[in-house]
A and B are shown apart, each in its own frame.
Chain A
Amino acid sequence: MRVQALFTLSARSVGRNMRRSILTAAAMALGLALLMFSRALADGGHEQWIESAVRLGTGHVAIQAPGYLETGRLEHRLDAGAVDRIEEVLASHGPELPVEAWAPRLTVNGLASSAASALPIRIEGVDPAGERTFSTLVDQLAEGRYLEPGDRLQAFVGTELARRLQLEPGDRMVITAQTAAGEVEGQLVRIAGTFHTGIQEMDEGLIHIPLATARSWLGAPGDLTTVAVLLDSSFDTEAAVAALARSLDGDRGIRVLGWRQASPEMDSAVRIDDYGDYIFHIILFAIIALAILNSVLMAVLGRRREFGILQALGLTGGETGLVVFGEGLFLTFASGLVGMGVGFALTWIFFRDGLDFSGFMENGMTASGGIIDPVIIPVFRFGQVVLSLASILIIGTLASLYPAYRASQLDVAEAMKFEQ
């Protein structure tokens, strides 16, 4: 009952100076709304960026043989038995593994040569049908066509590679690599089409050939170097890696990697971008904290006499502090809820179809192996929303502590002299 009386005082005091409370609440609500929006935008941007990179690369999850990530050599490959096991697990996965698509790859480093030149390349043997649902490389078609099921000696190459080799669709070239037996062997292929991603390393150093051709040429029938798995969202990666590792447990010849491990460069880029966001959030938090601190502290300093009266009536210093603390909490909670609502509403109403940055960036802008889409669609993550709200509430709570302490330490006789 006593605590109820104290919180009644706190709640009514918030309503007493309505203009002050509304201004403080508005600052907090705006801060939280901004925080949620910027977080949703950052997550949305990252998600698109990561999705682009993993679709062009080894997926959200890459299943490989131990040692392949470090060496890139064919000797560290998944044998046919391991491939069967992986395919069985992927084909029979439950809801704990939100797989959107997966693609088998046999990848080696080699050389592409024409009459004009010879250049180092990465040769990926792929399943043309599977790759169409997996890779965005198909969408980056510049000329000709992508590989079709049934193709044997066709290749899909980057525009830069074709330019430097002075080739075009329909022309032939020789690709050379070390086979599984350790021999260096060449393979004649004909260019079916070219792609342009804007990513220099890909455009001048990647070619796709049919998986069957790669297996036969490299002497690795039934083998793969990577099974690339695409998930519904990058946020599912850790859980999917854990689930796959559990399912494939015991097989020492299989290693399950998340995109952060498989693409450390992309991981670093996302982390650096996140740090930038965190600094922005810290500044935002500091502004919000100062708004609450200022509001509640001014309320304390301006109502010393009132707090003196409370203690004269029988409240302890601690209970007086609790009244002030409660006032800060009411302000924080009310503003937090309003801010969350505003943040959701504004982001949903204005940006659900994406925020178009095309006016600020060049077409085909790339970074860390991903193509950056100029239209960023905000992504709300439950965990992030809860974290933002919790952060605001913690900041508000902490910012209310000092004014509460000041109120608890009042000299009552002195406070009673204070003119309000």
Chain B
Amino acid sequence: MNDATTSVQAVRTEDVWKIYPQEPKPVEAVRGLDLEVDTGDFVAMAGPSGSGKTTVLNLLGGLTRPTRGRIWIGGQDTTAMSGRELARLRLEHIGFVFQAYNLLPVLTALENAEFTLLLRGMEPEERHRRVRHLFAEMGLEGLEDRRPGKLSGGQQQRVAVARAVVGEPALVLADEPTANLDSATSAALLDIMDHLNQEHGVTFVFSTHDPRVMERARRLIRLVDGRIENDERKNGSRGTP
């Protein structure tokens, strides 16, 4: 793929392997992953436990390094990046949503949501303006000063989504974001993410077991034993690699 095509892609991987050295036999968590995710895509990765979904998200997010192969995020080759460069990439181009919400317990909802903007050095007025705007869109108004312990699971996950998207990243990686939510809260959260995808062009890549998420995704990738078994779009299958 040339640079021109890379530039429109949020994610591209080339023969990515992740092998964990383990006795008696190394574990091949990801085996030869070739993946392209376009900017503005809404992708769900499904598969049984141990199929490598979380490892793929960790690889895409630069939280772990591939044993071999190459990864581009927003056109930047992350494989050769230093730890500091990867941290900067995560800060400026990637948002994360985790299954267990993972808000920072010592910060309020507003402080959690604006944390990455603060790290980027954005002025307080602009940070607050952005976060309040998002909170209004996501039904979190009035909860700005609450600490995570005083929020429901659904509210915490919405704050986590706000934190992931507030910096307008090229890519949001969400690891089973609805796993701990009831169906009504899950549906509401999916509406929000769908809205952010449609209206703001945010690229989402989910890992999920949840059929409702798979149904809402515009592209569904099935992983089995660290390989892509199936990759289909709503408007037609892209085929099986």
Q: By CB atoms of chain B within 10 A, which of A1, A13, A15 has the most? A: A1
Evaluate whether A314 and B116 lie within 8 angstroms (CB atoms) in the complex, with A2-B121, A13-B106, A416-B63 already known: yes
Docked Cα-Cα span, A311 to B102, in Å, equals 12
B84: interface (CB < 8 Å): yes
Residues of A close to B64: CB separation below 8 A: 411-413
Interface residues of A (CB under 8 A from B): 1-2, 5, 9, 12-13, 15-16, 305-306, 308-317, 319, 411-413, 416
Evaluate whether A311 and B87 lie within 8 angstroms (CB atoms) in the complex, with A2-B121, A413-B64, A416-B63 already known: yes
Count of residues in B whose CB is under 8 Å from the partner chain: 26
Docked Cα-Cα span, A311 to B89, in Å, equals 11
Q: By CB atoms of chain B within 10 A, which of A2, A12, A316, A411 has the most? A: A316
User: Contact between A312 and B104 (Cβ–Cβ < 8 Å)?
Assistant: no
Docked Cα-Cα span, A323 to B96, in Å, equals 21
Q: Which of B96-142 contact A (CB under 8 A)?
A: 96, 98, 100, 102, 104-107, 115-116, 118-119, 121
B83: interface (CB < 8 Å): yes
Measured CB to CB, the nearest residue on chain A to B99 is A416
Q: How far is the CB of A318 from chain B (nearest CB, A)?
A: 8
User: Contact between B98 and A309 (Cβ–Cβ < 8 Å)?
Assistant: yes
User: Contact between A316 and B96 (Cβ–Cβ < 8 Å)?
Assistant: no
Measured CB to CB, the nearest residue on chain A to B115 is A313
> 10 tightest CB-CB pairs across the interface, nearest first?
A314-B91, A12-B106, A413-B64, A316-B87, A413-B58, A412-B63, A309-B102, A5-B118, A413-B63, A314-B90
Residues of B close to A311: CB separation below 8 A: 63, 87, 90
B88: interface (CB < 8 Å): yes
B61: interface (CB < 8 Å): yes
User: Contact between B116 and A317 (Cβ–Cβ < 8 Å)?
Assistant: no
Measured CB to CB, the nearest residue on chain B to A16 is B106
Docked Cα-Cα span, A209 to B77, in Å, equals 98
Residues of B close to A411: CB separation below 8 A: 64
B92: interface (CB < 8 Å): yes
User: Contact between A312 and B84 (Cβ–Cβ < 8 Å)?
Assistant: no
Measured CB to CB, the nearest residue on chain A to B114 is A5
Interface residues of B (CB under 8 A from A): 55, 58, 61, 63-64, 83-84, 87-88, 90-92, 96, 98, 100, 102, 104-107, 115-116, 118-119, 121, 163
User: Contact between A313 and B63 (Cβ–Cβ < 8 Å)?
Assistant: no
* Apart from A12-B107, A313-B119, 19 more pairs, CB < 8 Å: A1-B118, A1-B121, A13-B106, A15-B106, A16-B106, A305-B100, A306-B102, A306-B105, A309-B104, A311-B63, A313-B96, A314-B88, A314-B90, A314-B119, A411-B64, A412-B58, A412-B63, A413-B58, A416-B63
**Cross-chain contact of B90 among A2, A15, A306, A313 (Cβ < 8 A):** A313
User: Contact between B88 and A312 (Cβ–Cβ < 8 Å)?
Assistant: no
Residues of A close to B87: CB separation below 8 A: 311, 314-317, 319
Q: What total count of A-B pairs have CB within 8 Å?
A: 67
User: Contact between A312 and B90 (Cβ–Cβ < 8 Å)?
Assistant: yes
Q: How far is the CB of A313 from chain B (nearest CB, A)?
A: 6
Q: How far is the CB of A77 from chain B (nearest CB, A)?
A: 76
Measured CB to CB, the nearest residue on chain A to B58 is A413
Residues of B close to A15: CB separation below 8 A: 106
**Cross-chain contact of A317 among B58, B83, B105, B163 (Cβ < 8 A):** B83
Residues of B close to A312: CB separation below 8 A: 61, 63, 90, 96
Residues of B close to A16: CB separation below 8 A: 105-106
User: Contact between A2 and B98 (Cβ–Cβ < 8 Å)?
Assistant: no
Q: How far is the CB of A191 from chain B (nearest CB, A)?
A: 81
Residues of A close to B104: CB separation below 8 A: 9, 306, 309-310
Residues of A close to B119: CB separation below 8 A: 2, 5, 313-315
Residues of A close to B116: CB separation below 8 A: 313-314
Q: How far is the CB of B61 from chain A (nearest CB, A)?
A: 7
Docked Cα-Cα span, A319 to B58, in Å, equals 20
User: Contact between A9 and B106 (Cβ–Cβ < 8 Å)?
Assistant: yes
10 of the cross-chain contacts (CB-CB < 8 Å) are A1-B118, A2-B121, A308-B63, A309-B102, A312-B96, A314-B87, A314-B91, A314-B92, A316-B83, A416-B58
Docked Cα-Cα span, A13 to B105, in Å, equals 9
Evaluate whether A5 and B106 lie within 8 angstroms (CB atoms) in the complex, with A313-B96, A316-B83 already known: no
Residues of B close to A5: CB separation below 8 A: 115, 118-119
Q: How far is the CB of A127 from chain B (nearest CB, A)?
A: 73
User: Contact between B91 and A313 (Cβ–Cβ < 8 Å)?
Assistant: yes
Residues of B close to A319: CB separation below 8 A: 87
Q: How far is the CB of B44 from chain A (nearest CB, A)?
A: 20
Docked Cα-Cα span, A269 to B215, in Å, equals 86
Residues of A close to B115: CB separation below 8 A: 5, 313
Measured CB to CB, the nearest residue on chain A to B85 is A316
Measured CB to CB, the nearest residue on chain B to A12 is B106
Residues of A close to B55: CB separation below 8 A: 413
Residues of B close to A317: CB separation below 8 A: 83, 87
Docked Cα-Cα span, A5 to B111, in Å, equals 10
Residues of A close to B61: CB separation below 8 A: 312
Q: How far is the CB of B168 from chain A (nearest CB, A)?
A: 14
Residues of B close to A9: CB separation below 8 A: 104, 106-107
Q: How far is the CB of B53 from chain A (nearest CB, A)?
A: 13
Q: How far is the CB of B169 from chain A (nearest CB, A)?
A: 10
Residues of B close to A305: CB separation below 8 A: 100, 102
Docked Cα-Cα span, A413 to B61, in Å, equals 10
Residues of B close to A310: CB separation below 8 A: 104
Q: By CB atoms of chain B within 10 A, which of A1, A9, A310, A314 has the most? A: A314
Docked Cα-Cα span, A20 to B151, in Å, equals 24
Docked Cα-Cα span, A33 to B146, in Å, equals 38
Residues of A close to B105: CB separation below 8 A: 16, 306
Q: How far is the CB of A353 from chain B (nearest CB, A)?
A: 47
Residues of A close to B83: CB separation below 8 A: 316-317
Docked Cα-Cα span, A206 to B90, in Å, equals 85
Docked Cα-Cα span, A226 to B119, in Å, equals 72
Docked Cα-Cα span, A413 to B107, in Å, equals 23
Docked Cα-Cα span, A189 to B88, in Å, equals 95
Docked Cα-Cα span, A73 to B63, in Å, equals 84
